[in-house]
Structures are given as structure tokens and as C-alpha cells.
Structure 1
């Protein structure tokens, strides 16, 4: 397959300035060159004007982007991280526009996640991304200022194994340490001595993260990434992508496509909250729309056409519940780690009192409806509580205080992120399908996608095996004994 170089694609892109546009119905109307130049100069002045007291970038009033070098669909943690790293590497020499469906983030997967950080994976790529995530959190103040904080709780993860998967736990731990993770595998007696509140009758071993593991506030990380990108010149637009424009590109050669018949994408249409439609021409586009990514991909005919386009982006919405409950009688101690039972149930402390949060991924046949974010409390009583009470006898007396639900960008192919270029559209990059691990992998994914776009290859962590091509050759990247 032949692809244009990054620099060539950018040169073939648009003039990358922010202009006002009325609607897609007028998108083909020619604008007078002098008027266009005046608008470019005016909007550049607006974008570069800063509030001297708050040192925050001021968005131009009533200005909607019409042209950009790189359009990012999705402004959650992954999309904002990509925007941040692109601007970090290029400054104001590259125009980046982020199109986010809901800038309030009320239903965004990022802010509704548990916010865990761990290196306890079985794939080298996931281990390395998590290690970089830990380093990124450690250096937040250097990047974003002395007030930057995500309230990281460094109490680690405790992954429990039954007799049947204890050896895999040992093998995983060995590989994690080879990449720089710091953890220890404890046998049944050592677990009971260290965590006397834990029932280990049916547990063979547990792996405890000693450093660089814990949990943090996802909302705070999202705001730092988003503001960091905006301060460097990235532009955020509130709108829902509804369509892509296709153009004949006769000079592009693609395997399996008759020469001279290739159609590429260079423009997206999005709907503002008011209902008005706007267009945005781009040189490159990044699909990082989280749980919506599979549906957005269909707008590019991915999964709905022939040839390579017959292969869908296998990312779906999956609803997950998080329950908050109190344990007032002999609760686990303050330095309790995030505990992952081999049954799939998990829990961790929430604050300094006897409050905890926990949950469980449902079985495939029990997947809840994704039409809303309603919480099923019966699922806790019937499925979650028995597992928690078995593992921690003190949890027999717990009482649910509140709960919430959020959407996973669930990769139905192998439950791991899809990162890299699409094999047909030379200017479309994908970063989605993280299946619950996106918040901790966002810093590394953002850096990796920026490297692909700007350098043409992965420079730090080689994520080639997580590309779209594995869908074509049917080579899933499964995690082993990991939830």
C-alpha cells in the first residue's frame, strides 16, 4: 500500500485558519481572497490574545473553525491527550481542532470512570503505556504548573488468583518487572498476614503493586489535558459529527482499489447544540470518540462497504455500574489497595472513612441496555454483594449509599485499544476501544498518535501490534487473567 508522507498530506491540506462559516449548504461558495485574508488576520489576533491576569487562552467569540490541519473527534481524556501532545510538539505551527459532542462532559466515559492506574497486565504494550501514565502523573506540576493535581492515591492494586491461574499471575508479574514495574507476589499465608480482613480460603496467590499504582481523579486529569491543549492553541468545538465528505483522489494508489477510483475523506460535518450544521475541512483526522467511535466510523463507510471497508471498527457502548457503599464495622484499613478478585469483582476505598466503591462487569448475556445511564441496584444485591462479602467478611453488613454508571468504549474483538492509521483512508487515525483502560493509557496514547502523525512512526512505545491491521489478519491481542 502507498501512503503519502505526513508532510505531504499537511501540504495538501487546507490553510489551517479559523474562519466563520454559515452552513454546509454554503460550503462550496467561493470566498473573496481579500475578505478571507482579513478574517484570518482577525481570528489570529483573537486566538493569540491572552488574559494577563489568569494567563488563560481566550476563545474568539462566535468563531467556528472551517479549516484545520488536524481534526480530532472526541474531547475526552484520549482526544484531549492527543491534542495536547500535538501542540506540545509543534507549538502554534500546527492547527488542531477538537470536536466534542458534549463539552459539559456529563456523560463522558472519562469522568465516570474509577480512575485506576496499574501495570498489572499481560501485554507489554499495556504495561509500558501504564508506566508512562504513572510518570506523566508524577511530573504534572512540571507540565501544568504548581497547582496541577489529580489527587493520586498510591495504594496499589492487589490482583487475586485461584489455584488455576496462579502460575499465570506469576508469569505476568515476572514480565511486568522486566519492564520496570514494582510488585510482589504473595502466597495465601502472606496475604492473610498482610491483609487480615481478607478471606483467602479459595485464593492461591495475589500480586500487589508496590509503586506507581493506585487511583486518581479522572475529571482533574481531563481538565489538565484539555486546558493544556487549549493554552497551546488547540481549539475545542461543541458539536456532534454527522457526516463525512468524500473526494476523488486519483493520485493515491491503494492495494485492492482500481487506480484513479480512490475516494478519500477531507471534511466532516457536525451539528451544533443549536441544531445548525457546520463543516470542517482537514488534512488529517483522528477518531477518538470513545464509546461512540464505532458509530462514527460507519459515517466513513467503515464496516458498511466492500473490501477493506467491510471490516468494522468493533467498538460498542457497554454500560458499567459503580456502587458506593459504607462499611462501619471493622472495615479494611486505610492503606487498602484496589482489590481485584479473580471472580472479576473489585473494590477500593473512597476517602478516609469507611466508604468504598466497587463493581463487577456483567456476563455477555447480562449486558444492560445502553439507551440510558440508569443504575440497576438489583445487580449489586444479586451479583456484586455476594462476591464482595465472600472476599471481605466485614462487607456482609455494607449498605449502598449511591451509584452511577458510565459507558466503556468496548472493543468486541479483543478488549484492547485500537491505535494507528486506518488501512484505506491515508489521513484517518484511530485511538479507541480501550475497554475501561483508557483513562490510565491516555497520556501514552496521546504521545503515540502525535508521533505517528508528526514523525511517521512510533518513537517511544511501539504500539504497532495494537493497530487496525490485526482486525484484518484476525490476530487478537488478548490479556490473560486480567480484567
Structure 2
């Protein structure tokens, strides 16, 4: 019986190879290679293997690729009239899949997440006007990482940032250390905001943050350098809070995105070119006639040498920080008909930053948390030697970024001396200022697709806490682009749509970053 089964199997194997084609070497298909090709199971495994190799080639860059032979305009989107074989004399990308306007923390994070996922499958171009970042909001960031927000979306984004930064070496290596200092935040509240602070703390702990509420008496015992006059309650972060080097995070995001094949261009978007698309209609827009849709097609980019070039894109992301409102107006947002009548409500706000030094014996020690006072000043330790960084956001809306030391003596030193008496005589050793993007509508981020343009996304208006949320924002925009929806944190309530229906999303806690 065993022998007969063996003979049947032999006959079956011969019958599989009897009609097999040649294997290309001149021998008939009755060899082992032909048997492997025609056996149903082996053939299925071979096809699956080929599919897996294609998936790997899509996501993982080829080590053997010769850089000088790469076509600068490689794209998975095909544009009419584009020559796939022609190469350009320089690295300027005349075509791209995703054009990101703004290469600060948010824009670089979007590029990082897109290229980390797609690698060579997506051509990403980032346009940044100030590649030295001298005027970037990142420069005046205090580097705070905190979950003490009042909205679930902001809490979840900062929780993700904490987890990401905890494993920063796995993502970025050790080339530019993040220097995360896990000493928490201490947010103080007077009688007017005490109840709101307590409600927010309960929500934060329910979502995974860990902080504690301290009465004025307990604050005085825990932090003897703190004057609790006028303070009813304080919220102290116990885990996943502190501060980091914001410029180091920006550098790592940009370096990693570039290593994955992202293109960073020093230039300024000065205009957009539009294209009529009769196959698209906008529903619910009284100012848009069916069959008369005009979409974004190209960006006009002014280069440092004064020349202008155009870049045709499939998708565009406005992440230009304080300049986002101006870029949006170039796209007729706020100056067009229908939905385009609603502007992007982003203005520049000034932030003053000061480095001070105090050798007072009673000055706060190394475990001092970043402290946020109800008066608007903030202060944290800065390494060793009695150094601190403090500052205050200004309500001024101007482009004058000069630092006036009299401002410190008139507006900051009195508040600092009242809250932390030991720092009342601290010496100013350095000072700087800059602007950040302020959403004047509800002081919260605007993130997601624009309701009119089918190929425009927004990521701006984070009102002073953008750098700590940049990691989650970049991942969220990459999900919208690649998956068509949010997959990790649902940020749909932060979309531009809330401006059209006039439903603001107020963030009650001014958490700095």
C-alpha cells in the first residue's frame, strides 16, 4: 500500500511537469524548476514572495541605488506632459507629490513622518524661507513638554510626544541629543481659575497623564522657594513632563527626513498657480458653481538669488507658522468667494526670552519644575550654575523683534520677585525675542484638510505650544495623506471646518512649549 501511494505521487509529479514550458535554458519543463513553478502550493508561495518583495521595495530604500542617477522629480503621481527620463541640471524639484510650506518644527515633522513611512514612494519637498531658523518660533521655544491642557486632543498629542522623546535614540540615534529633563511642570492658579485647573487635572489623569493637585499650604512645603500669595491650587506633573532642547528636535526631524530622501529648499512661496478642473464640484458652497472648480496646481517659489521657479504638486501643506495666514491668502483663502471668504486666523505674537543667573542660597534647586504663574511669566532651570530661562508672551502684534531690557525690569522682574523672591535680584546674562503663530479665533491648532481645496492641508495656529505637539501633528497629517483618515489620535475637531460653522475649540490652559 505504501509503495502504491509512492508511485501515485511520482505519477502526479510527472503529470504536473508533462506540459510545462521550457525553463529558458533549453531543457524541457520536466526538471525541478518546472515542478516548483507548476505545483499549486509552490506557485502560491512564489507569488506571495514576489508581492512581499514589492512591498519591501516600496517602503525600504535600496542601498544599491546610485545617488547621481536618481531622477530629482521621481514621483508616484504622473503629470500630463512630464518626461520621466529627463533629469534636471540642479536639485530644484519642478514636480513633487507633497509640497510643505514651512520647514520649522511642524513642517519638518510632517516631512519626517511621510518619508519614514513611504521612503522612495513619495517625493516630498519642504520650502523654508529662513533655513538658519533665526526668526523661527522654535528659537523662542522654552522646550516645554506638558499634558496640562483642557482639551483631550492636546493632552493626547503631548502624551505621544513624551513617549516618542523617551525613545528618541531609537528614532534619531545619538547625533543630536534631545536633552530631555523630566522635572515636570507646575501650573499655578488663583481663585478665578482654580476650579478649571482641577477639572483639567482630572481629565488629564483619566487619559494617562500623571499629576497631582497641591493646595497653597502643600505648595509651600513642597517648594520652599515659592511664594504662594494669591495662589489657591497648583497642578504638578509627576511623569512624562519637563523640557527638552527644541532646536535639537528640529535638527533631528530635518536630518532624518533628508536622509530618507526628503528635499529641503531655501526659498519663499510668493504665489500659487491655479488650474480649472471640471471633474470636481464642491457641495454646500454657494460660491462654487458645478463644473467650475479651480484648484491649486503650482507654487511660485522665490529663491535666495532673486529668481523664481514653479513647483507642480499633487498635495500641499501650509505649515508656515506665523506666516501661514499670509500664505493662505496667496491661495485666495480669506479673499475668495464662498468658503474661501473665511480667512485663516493666524497672526504673529511676540515672545520675550531672558537667561538669568542667581547665586542666592535660597534659589530653586535642580529639581525645580517649569513654573507657570497666573501673571503670564514662566521660568525653569537651565543646566547648572544657577542659570534659569524665563519670559513672557506679549500681546503686541508687530514685526519688531528687538529685545528691550527695560521690558524685563518693568514687566517681568517685579512678577518674578513676587513669586520667587530669591530671583528678584537675578542678573540678565542673555536675551532674545521672536514670534510664534497665534490662532486669534480660539487659540488652538488648526489641522487637517481645507474644506474647499481637495489637495490642501493645514497645520498651524498652535499658539505657543507647537513644538511639543509637532510630533503628533506630523504623524496626523501623514495619516491623512497616506491613509485618508486619522488612525491614532482623532483630531477632526481641530479642522478648519469649525471656523465655517463658528464652533470654537477653546484651550483654557496656556501651556507653553
Q: TM-score by structure 1 length?
A: 0.87
TM-aligned CA distance change 1:470 to 1:321, over 3 Å = same
The answer for the alignment partner of 1:334 in structure 2 is 366
Q: Does 1:259 align with 2:290?
A: yes
Alignment of 1:72-221 (within 5 A): 72-221=100-249
TM-aligned CA distance change 1:431 to 1:243, over 3 Å = same
**Equivalent-residue separation in structure 1 for 2:370 and 2:73 (angstroms):** 48
Any idea what the Cα deviations from partners look like across 1:15-67, whole Å, max 9, x if unmatched? x96259xxxxxxx9978x5xx5142xxx7xxxxxxxxxxxxxxxxx8321000
Q: Does 1:348 align with 2:372?
A: no
Contact map agreement 1:327 1:395 (CA 8 A) in 2? yes
Contact map agreement 1:420 1:431 (CA 8 A) in 2? yes
**Equivalent-residue separation in structure 1 for 2:419 and 2:407 (angstroms):** 18
Q: 2:332 aligns with which of 296, 301, 315?
A: 301
The answer for the alignment partner of 1:37 in structure 2 is 85
The answer for the alignment partner of 2:460 in structure 1 is 432
TM-aligned CA distance change 1:361 to 1:104, over 3 Å = closer
1:455 is displaced (CA, Å) by 0.7
Any idea what the Cα deviations from partners look like across 1:204-250, whole Å, max 9, x if unmatched? 11110011111111111011100111111111111100110011000
Name the SS for the 1:459 alignment partner: coil
Name the SS for the 1:37 alignment partner: coil
**Equivalent-residue separation in structure 2 for 1:334 and 1:125 (angstroms):** 31
Name the SS for the 2:115 alignment partner: helix
Q: Does 1:390 align with 2:418?
A: yes
**Equivalent-residue separation in structure 1 for 2:298 and 2:468 (angstroms):** 31
Ranges of 4+ aligned residues in structure 1 off by more than 6 Å: 28-31
Contact map agreement 2:96 2:314 (CA 8 A) in 1? yes
**Equivalent-residue separation in structure 1 for 2:426 and 2:206 (angstroms):** 40
Name the SS for the 1:152 alignment partner: coil
Contact map agreement 2:281 2:292 (CA 8 A) in 1? no
**Equivalent-residue separation in structure 1 for 2:503 and 2:278 (angstroms):** 32
The answer for the alignment partner of 2:302 in structure 1 is 271
Larger Rg: 2
Name the SS for the 2:272 alignment partner: strand
The answer for the alignment partner of 1:47 in structure 2 is none
Q: 2:501 aligns with which of 449, 473, 479?
A: 473
Alignment of 1:401-412 (within 5 A): 401-412=429-440
1:406 is displaced (CA, Å) by 1.3
Q: 2:352 aligns with which of 318, 321, 330?
A: 321
**Equivalent-residue separation in structure 2 for 1:293 and 1:418 (angstroms):** 11
The structure showing larger relative contact order (alpha-carbon pairs under 8 Å, at least 6 residues apart) is 1
1:112 is displaced (CA, Å) by 2.7
The answer for the alignment partner of 2:398 in structure 1 is 369
**Equivalent-residue separation in structure 1 for 2:230 and 2:139 (angstroms):** 35
Consecutive unaligned residues of structure 1, counting only runs of 5 or more, are 1-15, 21-27, 44-60
Q: TM-score by structure 2 length?
A: 0.82
**Equivalent-residue separation in structure 2 for 1:137 and 1:448 (angstroms):** 17
The answer for the alignment partner of 1:54 in structure 2 is none
Contact map agreement 1:17 1:67 (CA 8 A) in 2? no
Contact map agreement 1:319 1:407 (CA 8 A) in 2? yes
Name the SS for the 1:247 alignment partner: strand
Name the SS for the 2:328 alignment partner: helix
The answer for the alignment partner of 2:7 in structure 1 is none
TM-aligned CA distance change 1:481 to 1:111, over 3 Å = closer
1:190 is displaced (CA, Å) by 1.1
Name the SS for the 1:197 alignment partner: coil
Name the SS for the 1:440 alignment partner: helix
1:444 is displaced (CA, Å) by 0.1
Alignment of 1:58-73 (within 5 A): 62-73=90-101
TM-aligned CA distance change 1:448 to 1:481, over 3 Å = closer
TM-aligned CA distance change 1:90 to 1:30, over 3 Å = closer
The answer for the alignment partner of 2:444 in structure 1 is 416
**Equivalent-residue separation in structure 2 for 1:17 and 1:461 (angstroms):** 36
Q: Does 1:18 align with 2:72?
A: yes
**Equivalent-residue separation in structure 1 for 2:312 and 2:80 (angstroms):** 14
**Equivalent-residue separation in structure 1 for 2:411 and 2:256 (angstroms):** 41
Q: 1:459 aligns with which of 460, 475, 487?
A: 487
**Equivalent-residue separation in structure 2 for 1:90 and 1:29 (angstroms):** 23
Any idea what the Cα deviations from partners look like across 1:326-382, whole Å, max 9, x if unmatched? 1221211111010001121111111111111111223x4xx1531x32012222111
**Equivalent-residue separation in structure 1 for 2:134 and 2:376 (angstroms):** 27
Contact map agreement 2:348 2:397 (CA 8 A) in 1? no
Name the SS for the 2:433 alignment partner: strand
**Equivalent-residue separation in structure 2 for 1:158 and 1:263 (angstroms):** 50
How many pairs align? 434
Q: 2:317 aligns with which of 286, 289, 301?
A: 286
